[in-house]
Structure 1
Amino acid sequence: MDDTLVSIILPTYNRASFLGAALASVFAQTHRQWELVVVDDGSTDDTVDVLGRHDDPRIVYVHQENQGVSAARNAGIARCSGEMVALLDSDDEWLPAKLGRQLAYMQEHGYEISQTEEIWIRGGRRVNQKAKYAKPEGWFFERSLEMCLISPSCTMFTREAWERIGPFDVDMPSCEDYDLWLRACLHFPVGLVAEKLTIKHGGRPGQLSNCVPCADLHRIRALVKILQSGKLDAAQGAAALEALRRKVEIYAQGSEKRGKSDEAKRVWNLFCMVREGKRIPLNTLR
């Protein structure tokens, strides 16, 4: 048995009805060397009671006032002690071989970051993924500019990789994963375990994708951040700027349709400033 300790980071906020299944999927793992850091982000439901049913010294419980998923993940990683880190959202699940297969794959191929394939469940039913969501492997920074191609609950990475790409941006109420994985894809090739070892649920109440408005604005923020990081070469910078232009156009068109012409002009003007090489404050893109 591989004795590598994997730290599982599980943030949760008022998902007591789903948390039990996520926990059960952790306890079912064939790789037994793990610790589970559960970060309760100020839940007001029965989350504590659900966790109290499990008496296992491998569980680390962290409670904080509600600060959002980014702060919760950051807090969990700061408290963990494993040399490998795996993320699990509290409404997702893993198949039993997930940690073991992924760890072995990374060790065999020398990846610092990897993900698995996933099963999509929407409204309680399994659905097929569209071709555009197919997960790539290797270096794919340019492809990741268009959309988020890495799923948090599918990922595992080394502590060394985290030190280079983290933390999650606590000022982003959504698309925080798109922002982090842009940095990851810039610095590392990403491995892919071509097995569906993660079950990803969608269409549930309380999910960020359903609750946070203006996700396009947060993606724009992430692109501006990476463009202003000073870490892109000429080709990467051109690709990121073109992706920013497309997303600004989409956002501006949506603003116009909602009668918000001033907002459309504001964001377009910010894009023009970035295109001209001027730095803009990120707090203008929230």
Structure 2
Amino acid sequence: MERHNGRNADAPLVSAIIPTRDRAGLVGRAVASALAQTHAPLEVIVVDDGSTDDTPAVLAAFCEPRLTVVRLDPGRGVSAARNAGLAVARGAYVALLDSDDEWLPAKTARQVAFMREKGLAISQTREIWMRGGRRVNPGNAHAKPDGFFFEKALERCLVSPSTVLCTREFFQEVGGFDEGLPACEDYDLWLRALLRHPVGLLAEDLAVRHGGRPDQLSAIHVGQDLYRIRSMLGLLGRDDLSPWHVSCIKKELRRKALCYAKGCLKRDKPEEAARVLALAEAAAGPLGPAGETAP
């Protein structure tokens, strides 16, 4: 791992971690939005997952002492990139920002004040959704909740990485991102978080989420329920789950396994359907035929 460090001697309050790979046309916007935060002191850590385009040159052009670039061997993935950033972060708070998104200038200032007031270890803000350069309104299913919403978080990912701020102690307690998951690594982390902590919601639009491009993980990794299934199977191996948590996980595991298997059968992949159904059934009990609605 190659690292170029240009940080100030004084420890920052907030460490912004930006993973990236081959996004020379986008990462500059993300970095600029982090450096433009009204809250100081702040450090920005960009973890380059082996870019082969002009990303290094774009980052070098900033000549900014608050910017650190960590360069990884190619292809280790977004989880490894975020974990590498966590390993060198010095801030009392850690903020996540995807390299294709951006923050509004008051994001970290407003969020630090909010978390201090509420005594939170993790929080998120609302965000503006952009798709193809146009603003779109997220559906009701994507409305951000507040507090302990473990059961809802099993159904879909309800926390956006680019809106998150956590204390350093949060990651020490909960752990980092699962590097064995090529996608849905954030879904997995938020579930582990919600076993112990409420996720606070600062109900202000303080981040901009840009979507609709073919290089995003949601487009690259189709059938993402497979990774959510793997996450839930991992959760069931923990010894700190309440009976209610176990019941919620098994219910959603059955539902997702049946839906995933049904999709496999439509794509003429019966072996994959059978494999995943067997894994889910061993962990959650009888599932029924792949074409049926989950119990």
TM-score, normalisation: structure 2: 0.91
What residue number does 2:241 align with? 232
Q: Give 1:55's aligned residue.
A: 63
> Is 258-267 or 146-155 further displaced after alignment?
258-267
Counterpart residue number, 1:165: 174
2:155 is paired with a residue whose SS is: coil
Give the aligned partner of residue 196 of structure 1.
205
* Structure 1 residue 61: Cα displacement: 1.1
Which consecutive residues of structure 2, in runs of 5 or more, have no partner in the other structure? 1-10, 286-295
Q: SS at the partner of 2:195? A: helix
Deviation at 1:196, TM superposition (A): 0.3
Secondary structure of the equivalent of 1:256? helix
Structure 1 residue 214 displacement after superposition: 2.6
Distance 2:222 2:117 in 1: 42
Which consecutive segments of 4 or more residues in structure 1 shift more than 4 A? none
Secondary structure at the counterpart of residue 17 of structure 1: coil
Q: 2:261 aligns with which of 252, 259, 262?
A: 252
CA deviation string 1:183-227 (max 9, x = no partner): 011110111110000000101231111111331110100111111
Structure 2 CA distance, aligned partners of 1:30 and 1:52?
A: 23
Tell me, yes or no, if structure 1 residue 38 matches structure 2 residue 46: yes
- Residue 166 of structure 1 and its aligned partner are, at CA, apart by 1.8
Q: State the SS of the aligned residue for 2:25.
A: helix
Give the secondary-structure state (helix, strand or coil) at the position aligned to 1:42: coil
Which amino acid letter does the alignment assign opposite residue 28 of structure 1? A
The 1-side partners of 2:103 and 2:37 are apart by 8
Q: Which residue of 2 aligns with 1:6?
A: 14
Q: Which residue of 1 aligns with 2:270?
A: 261
Distance in 2 of aligned mates of 1:259 and 1:212: 18
Native 8 Å contact 2:251 2:284 kept in 1? no
Contact 2:12 2:90 (8 Å CA) reproduced: no
Partner deviation per Cα, 1:136-167 (whole Å, 9 max, x = no partner)? 11111111110111000000001111012221
Deviation at 1:275, TM superposition (A): 2.2
Instruction: Give the superposition deviation at 1:55.
Output: 1.4
Q: CA RMSD in A?
A: 1.3
> Runs of 5+ in structure 1 lacking a partner?
277-286
Deviation at 1:31, TM superposition (A): 0.4
Whole-Å separation in 2 of the counterparts to 1:196 and 1:81:
27
Secondary structure of the residue aligned to 2:176 is coil
How many residues align structurally?
A: 275
TM superposition shift of 1:4: 6.2
Q: Choose the corresponding residue for 1:68, options 77, 91, 97.
A: 77
1:18 Cα deviation from its structure 2 partner: 0.5
Structure 1 equivalent of residue 4 of structure 2: none
Show the counterpart of 1:281. Answer: none
Distance in structure 1 (CA, Å) of the matches to 2:271 and 2:63: 56
* Partners of 2:22 and 2:35 in 1: CA distance: 21
- Within-5 A mapping of 1:91-130: 91-130=100-139
- C-alpha offsets along residues 242-261 of structure 1, whole Å, 9 cap, x if unaligned? 00000000001001111111
Tell me the amino acid that sits aligned with residue 264 of structure 2: S
Distance in 2 of aligned mates of 1:11 and 1:74: 10
Higher helix share: 1
Counterpart-to-counterpart distance in 1, 2:149 and 2:222 = 28
Identity of aligned residues (%): 53
Whichever residue aligns with residue 10 of structure 1, its letter is I
| Counterpart selection for 2:191 from 168, 175, 182 | 182
Query: 2-side partners of 1:109 and 1:41: how far apart?
Result: 35
